[in-house]
Structure 1
Amino acid sequence: MGDLYFPISKSRLKYWFQFILFVLMVIFIYQSVGLTYTILLVGFLTWNLYVFFKKTPKLYSLAWLDKNIWTFEYIDGVVTKEVCSILDHQLYFAFCFAKKEKWSTQIVWRDQLTGKDYKKMKILAKIYGKSLN
């Protein structure tokens, strides 16, 4: 496979996807409980999303070291983790970790990878997606 280092860029797809889901939730909430409760719930959901995005570590790069050992470079340091599977969901790749940690999965969105890196990741997901255990 050659170079299995993947630099990660900022994702716009992640925010658009979650914004669309948020708008759909607001529409369904408005139809079921009315305007007053909708405003309260929208405020609560917005605050929860803000807290979630602040706590999520920023990923800068990832690299495949061995059969199931990957290195993830975050804003606060480099972490080596054992990946038990890589799931390809077309819009994003989900890395499932063997040990249940605070973040038991890592999502890498399609637009965070270059075209060449995206193709490499799709091949890795096909080859090793179910056979890493």
Structure 2
Amino acid sequence: MVTACLDKLVRVYELQSHDRMQVYGGHSDMVMCMAIHKSVIYTGCYDGSVQATKLNLMKNYRCWWHSCTLIFGLAEHLVQHLVKDHTNPNLQTVKCRWRSCSSFFATQHLIRQELPEHMRKHVEIDSEVQP
């Protein structure tokens, strides 16, 4: 089962176990309508934007940020999630909470310039998991 929500995420569930299998993000606004055709998720957002995303349950990218349980179907959606939901460019300092990472970003310049690339490297190196 695939559901769309006002939080800009599309969730994929396994009906038998009710487990959430994947999340797809990357939407610019609230998802208002959705259709699936030939393994492609088509979404329409409140702002009028339309997005087509290939559904692939064989690729999974897990968010290893402290206490986060989301698994994304696309690596880029995980990067967007990390930057948008786990950081704030207005903070004065940020400690990376990805697994056992001890990186610390002590200025707003570092948070805006280096933290997104730091997170992208985490995604590239150790976010992919087997379905």
What TM-score bracket applies, with the shorter chain setting the length? Answer: under 0.3
Q: Which has the larger radius of gyration?
A: 1
TM-score, with structure 1 as normaliser: 0.27
